[in-house]
Structures are given as structure tokens and as C-alpha cells.
Amino acid sequence: MSLHIENLHANIGDREILRGLNLEIPKGEVHAIMGKNGSGKSTLAKVMAGHPDYEVTKGTVTLDGLALLDLEEPDERARAGLFVAFQYPMEVPGVSIANFIRAARQAALPEDAELDAVEYYQDLYVKMDALKIPRNFTSRAVNEGFSGGEKKRCEILQLAMLAPKYAVLDETDSGLDIDALKIVSDGVNALRSPDRGFLVITHYQRLLDYIVPDVVHVMVNGQIVLSGDKELALKLEAEGYDWVEKETLATA
Amino acid sequence: MSTILMEKDLETGVWPEWFDQSGAIQEYESAPRPTRKDEAWRFANISALDLSQFQAAPAPSNEGRLITASSGLEKFSAKMVFANNTLIHEEAPQLPNEVLFLPLEVAAREHAALFRKYFMAQPVELGSHKFAALHKGKVTSGAFLHVPANTEVALPVEIFHWVEGAHSSVFPHTLIICGENSRVTVVDRFQSADGLKAFACGVNDLHLAPGARLTYVAVQDWSRDSLAFHLNSTIVDAQATSTALTANFGGGFLRGESLSRLVGEGSRSEMYSINPVEGTREIDQRTLQDHLAPNATSDLLYLNALDDASRTIFSGLIKVQPGAHGTDAYQKVRNLILSDEADPNSMPGLEILNDEVRCSHGATNGPISNEELFYLQARGIPRETGCRLIVNGFFNALLQKIADPALRDYLEGLLAKRLVLGGTPQK
């Protein structure tokens, strides 16, 4: 059981961003992808989620044996068990957090099943409290006027409420101060489980002090060029990415 | 075009002698029919204005059912229910004694001076004076609310107007007079009992004395193929604030005219409208923000969501008279376009006869944001549900202007229900 990406190529317009990416995240593990700006990290997250601006030209993504890219619509992929916490979550004016997450939970149920509203709110409040999100956020419009930290906490709230099989966290640490980083990391760590895989995308090592990965991958030019353990992240932090690029060029 | 006028009940006997309905009918008859050449009817589907198929409304068939169906807010101060131009129910569990909440014809008899001062006191100048005359000629009842000076009505006043029967004609009327520093909220609901095609020609006039605070919400939910006129004027005196929100859920052809006249210094008028349209429905709205006094504010925001081959027309004017320095006036219409065949027409306008003013006006058209939709879908919400949530949110953002949380929740509920039902006729 894994989230398995094989030889993935994807374009935006005429520009190829992902150039034969291979990666496998076994269920129960936390993998991290590090890489410079522009290496294609966020593209990978959006491509898997099914963002309409990107075109997959080659390759497969397999989620516990299911061909994820055969599902055209982003909602089908989400219901298959993939969750992406976005780097820049969208504002949705006039749609409250409570109604948004409720619609998402309802969508996960069989067609004729009705969500239990009381149970839903109890669950929502417990998870909001854990993430130190004030209760009055339930009636606020999704991400509208939220600070960077509030947006990220709200993404993790959605992750907790939807309990996916695999979660991709795209730059979840950006815009967070150290307190917020701890809250968000605690939230993620609480969701670590043998039944769930994580892919944590970041370009700072800092996050990985809090969410300790099993495997660290380095992404350069739309490919995974190097994989290792937590030590690799520390080395990247100390020495930058130039040596990786040189080694990659030398072996290419 | 005049069959409904030739029928019975020209003189119903409910009105005092000085209330000249036959004169009004003559005025209606002699006024020219609108043509598209009139600026006030530009873009309008004039052929929809054929009244020949409509007739006088019969007596309501099942008053009990309509009274039961007239349950709105959980807590209210008073309620009137009209069906086919007849008052069928009234109650006033929480209304202060000094407030007058009366059937219109009773107010005309018992409070003639007040009535004559305020009843249709403003000339109808946005194009439908002919239909205003028809209204005056045919009106038989309505709601009259007078809140005396320094009186606060804590809970909303509710008014229901039902129409029943194929091709019935109704002439709903709501007249609200707010005394100095008074405070009241009124919810006016316009409902079809059976989803059948009907004709409505309604007037609602709001008068605010200095310092008054009025929240007026009209929820129009006629059948989806009805022909309806709703003519409004709002007069706001010094330091008074009117918040008027109209939700147009129904009507096959709806003509709305709304005039706000800011006659006192520091007065404020908020004019909001929510219009989900689909099928071949047409919503035609004309507005005027008339600034006569200094340092007054008007804020107009109209939201249209157009699906299928629906049409909207918005024509608005901000007029700043020479004495109205320090005017702050906003006018904006936003069209959310849900279909390639939808036809939004926006004509925002300004006429400023004074230098020291702040005015802005504009119109925008745009589809549902792909990024917003993607975000909702990425959480597992199917495309269609996501679109509906976004449309709901588009309107919902405006409902947040309603300060009373109970009223806001209630309106959010009505909106959500309307958007689930969509264009299908309600029962």
C-alpha cells in the first residue's frame, strides 16, 4: 500500500515542469521533498490534486493500487483519499468554514447518507481546539482576511476533519512563526498513523525538526535526484543545494 | 391590455371617498405604454408586459393552509398575512402599544392625516408611473406601520403576501413610517401559494424621520413565470439610517424600481439586492440615489447570478443636488455569469452638481473563479455542489450586512433553500 509516482511528466502551457519524477511513499511513512524555488515542488502537489492548469503528458500516480490520474475531476481524487494542504489556500467569499468542511464531509458519505450535524460540530470543535483555532472561525468565510498562520492552521483542520489516506503538505511552514509552527506540527504529528502516508514539501529544514521524516528527497528540475534520511535535510540546510546540482550534473 | 381593469371592484367601498381610485385608473389608461425607446425601458423585454391574460384574484381557497405556511422568524413582534389582496391573519404578540400596525384601508379611515401625508407621496420617476397608477387604482389592502418617535420595536415585524390561482392579480402594499429616533425591522415576504403564473404590482414606501433606524428586508418568491412590479421609495431624514435588502427569488419578468432620497443632513441609505436568475427569467432593476442634503451617504450593491439564458438589467443613477456637499455615494452591480447564454446589462450612472463629493460607481461581470472551484473540489466536493456553494457565498457575503444575527441566519436559510430548489417552481 503506497502512494506511488512513476515517471511523471507535466506541463503548464508549453513549459515542462515535472520531468520524469519517481517517488513512492509507503503507507505509515512521512517523506519530505526539499528543493529550491522553481524546482517543481508545488507543481507536483497541484498536479496530483488535479489542478486544471497543468497537463500530465506521461507517467502514473497510483494510490493504493488505484490509478489516480484516471480520475479527471479533483473531487474524485480527493474522495479516493488524497489531500493536499496548499501553500496559498484560496479565499472563498461568503462560504463559512463550517459549511465548507461540512460539504466536504457530506461529499465523502454515500449518496443517500445524511451527515449527523451534532456529531459533526462536536468533532469540528474538538479539532479546532486542538489547533487553537477560535470557535468563532466557524462562521468566518473560508480564508477571507485570514493571516498566513490562520490559513495554514485551517488547512490542517481540514486535513484532520477529512482524515485522508495520503496527505501532501505544500510549504505548510511558510508564513508561520515558531508558535504557530509548533501548533501545526503537533496537529500533523497527531495524524501520523500506520494507515496514512505523508509527503511534506518544504524548502526549510526547520519544519523537519518538528515533523520528523522517515525519508528526505531532493528535487531538482522536476526530478527527484537524491534521497536519504533526516541527515540529508541538515546537510542541505548547512551547505545549500549547489553540491546536489553539481553531483547530479556529473552523474547525468 | 386592460382586461383586469374592466372587471368588477373598481369601487370596493373599503376606501374613504377622498381616495380616488377611478382617477388613478384613468391615469393608468391615459399614460402611454412603455417602449424600448424610453431610456427607462432600455433593454427591457416590453412584450412581457402584456396584462391581458391576468384577472382579478378570487377569494383565497384555504386560508388555514396559508396562515400555517406563513411561519417565518422564530421570534417576531407582529405579523400580518395577506392572500389575494385580503388580510387573512394578524397578530401582535410583542408590539409596543403605541405602534400602529394596521391594514392600509383602516389606516386611511382612522389616521387619514398620516395616511395622506405618506401614501405614495413620492412621484414614481423611474419609468413605471403607469403601473404605480394601476396599483393605486386596484389596491384594496396592505400593511401600514407607524412607529412613533423614540419607540423601539425590538423584534422584527413580519408581513406575508400570498397570491393564489392561475393568472390572479395582486397589489401588495407596505407603508412604513418611522418617527424620530425610532427603531424597527420589517420582513416583507411575497409568496406564491401554488407556483402558478400570476401578476403582482406592489408598492413599498419607507419614510424615516430624523435619527430613525429601519431595516427592511423584502423576499420576493413569486412563481418563476409571474410578471411582477415592485416599486419602492425611501425617504431618509437627518441622521437616520435605512438598510433595505431585496432578494428576488422568483418572477419570470420582474421590474424593480428603487428610489432613495436623502433629504436630511447625515442621513444614510443602504440599498442591497440579491438576484439569482435562471431559465429565461428577466430581472430589470432601476435605481436612483438622490442626494439633496449635505454629508449624506448612500451605498448600493446589487448582486446578480445569471444561469441559462436569463437576463438582468441594472440601470442606476447617483444624483448629487447642488446643496449636497460632503456626499458619499457608492453604486455597484456585480454579475456572476454562470452560462454563455446569460445576458447581463448594466448601466451605472452619475450626475453630480456639486464639487465636494465622493462618488464611485461600477459594474463587473465574471464567471465562477476556477481557483475557488478547484479548491472546493480538492476537498472532495463535486463540481456542481461547489458551484452552488460559490454562488451561495457570493450572495451570502451581502447578507452579512444584516446586523441582527437571528434575521441573518433566517435569510441565509432562505437563500440556501432557494439555491437548492433553483429555477424549479416552488409549491
Of A57 and B421, the one with more pLDDT = A57
Q: Nine-digit cell at A80?
A: 479516493
- Average pLDDT (B241-245) is 98
Helical spans, DSSP H, in A71-166: 74-80, 97-108, 117-130, 148-162
CB contact under 8 A, A74 and B370: no
The rounded distance, in Å, linking the Cα atoms of B427 and A152 is 44
- pLDDT recorded at residue B4: 56
Position B21 pLDDT exceeds 70: yes
Task: Tell me the nearest-neighbour CA distance from A93 into chain B, angstroms.
Answer: 6
Measured between CA atoms, the residue of chain B closest to residue A96 is B393
- pLDDT recorded at residue B424: 53
A104 touches chain B (CB under 8 A): yes
Mean per-residue pLDDT of chain A: 94
Contact, B419 vs B388, CB < 8 A?
yes
Of B3 and A112, the one with more pLDDT = A112
- pLDDT recorded at residue A37: 87
How many percent of chain B have pLDDT more than 90? 91
Cβ contacts of B374 on chain A, cutoff 8 Å: 49-52, 74, 90
Cβ contacts of B411 on chain A, cutoff 8 Å: none
Grid coordinates 402599544 are at which residue?
A: B97
The rounded distance, in Å, linking the Cα atoms of B129 and B122 is 11
- pLDDT recorded at residue A200: 97
Contact, B225 vs B252, CB < 8 A?
yes
Report DSSP state, residue B152.
Answer: B
**Segment 130-149 of chain A within 8 Å of chain B by CB:** 141
3-state secondary structure A129-150: HHCCCCHHHHHCEECCCCCHHH
Cα dihedral value B220, B271, B318, B359, nearest 10: -150
B372 touches chain A (CB under 8 A): yes
Position A86 pLDDT exceeds 50: yes
Task: Tell me the nearest-neighbour CA distance from B11 into chain A, angstroms.
Answer: 49
Q: Which of A73, A86, A108 sits opposite B377 (nearest CB)?
A: A73
The rounded distance, in Å, linking the Cα atoms of B377 and B77 is 43
- pLDDT recorded at residue B426: 44
Contacts 24+ apart (CB under 8 A), B412-421: B414/B219, B414/B247, B414/B249, B415/B247, B415/B274, B416/B392, B418/B221, B418/B247, B418/B249, B418/B276, B419/B276, B419/B388, B419/B391, B419/B392, B420/B388
Query: Which residue type occupies B180?
Result: E
- Average pLDDT (A49-57) is 96
**Segment 386-415 of chain B within 8 Å of chain A by CB:** 386, 389-390, 392-398, 400
Position A197 pLDDT exceeds 50: yes
Cβ contacts of A141 on chain B, cutoff 8 Å: 393, 397
Q: Nine-digit cell at B230?
A: 415592485
Residue A170 — very low, low, confident or very high, per pLDDT cuts 50/70/90? very high
- Average pLDDT (B172-192) is 98
- pLDDT recorded at residue A252: 56
Mean per-residue pLDDT of chain B: 94
Task: Tell me the nearest-neighbour CA distance from B280 into chain A, angstroms.
Answer: 27
For B404, the 3-state DSSP assignment is: coil
- pLDDT recorded at residue A141: 95
- pLDDT recorded at residue B427: 40
Tens of pLDDT, residue by residue over B268-306, are 999 999 999 999 999 999 999 999 999 999 999 999 999
Contact, B8 vs B58, CB < 8 A?
no
For A187-222, give the DSSP string: HHHHH--TT-EEEEEES-THHHHHS--SEEEEEETT
Tens of pLDDT, residue by residue over A120-146, are 999 999 999 999 999 999 999 999 999
Q: Name the CATH architecture for the domain at A2-90+164-251.
A: 3-Layer(aba) Sandwich (3.40)
Count of helices and strands (H, E) across chain A: 9, 12
Contacts of A169 by beta carbon, 8 Å cutoff, 6+ apart = A85, A155, A159, A188, A198, A199, A200, A201
The rounded distance, in Å, linking the Cα atoms of A74 and B157 is 46
For B125-140, give the DSSP string: -SS-HHHHHHHHHH--
Q: Chains A and B: how many Cβ contacts under 8 Å?
A: 88
Q: How far is CA B27 from CA A42, B11, B108, B119, B257, in A?
A: 69, 16, 21, 17, 19
A113 touches chain B (CB under 8 A): no
How many percent of chain A have pLDDT more than 70? 99
The rounded distance, in Å, linking the Cα atoms of B210 and B240 is 5
For A90, the 3-state DSSP assignment is: coil
Tens of pLDDT, residue by residue over B335-361, are 999 999 999 999 999 999 887 899 999
Q: How far is CA A99 from CA A102, B70, B250, B356, B416, in A?
A: 5, 27, 25, 44, 11
- pLDDT recorded at residue B2: 46
- pLDDT recorded at residue A203: 83
- Average pLDDT (B94-102) is 97
Q: Which of A78, A94, A101 sits opposite B378 (nearest CB)?
A: A78
Cα of B375 vs its chain's centroid, Å = 35
- pLDDT recorded at residue B353: 87
Q: Where are the domains of chain A?
A: 2-90+164-251
Query: Which residue type occupies B187?
Result: V
* C-alpha count within 13 angstroms, C-beta hemisphere, residue B191: 22
- Average pLDDT (B22-46) is 94
Q: Which of B377, B380, B396 sits opposite A94 (nearest CB)?
A: B396
How many other C-beta atoms are found inside a 10 Å radius of the C-beta of residue B413?
A: 10
How many residues are present in chain B?
427
- pLDDT recorded at residue B12: 58
Task: Tell me the nearest-neighbour CA distance from B68 into chain A, angstroms.
Answer: 27
CB contact under 8 A, B377 and A100: no
Tens of pLDDT, residue by residue over B69-93, are 999 999 999 999 999 999 999 999 9
Cβ contacts of B380 on chain A, cutoff 8 Å: 75, 78-79, 104, 107-108, 162
Cβ contacts of B396 on chain A, cutoff 8 Å: 94-96
Position A245 pLDDT exceeds 70: yes
- Whether the CA torsion A104, A105, A108, A112 is positive or negative: it is negative
Cα dihedral value B220, B221, B227, B231, nearest 10: -10
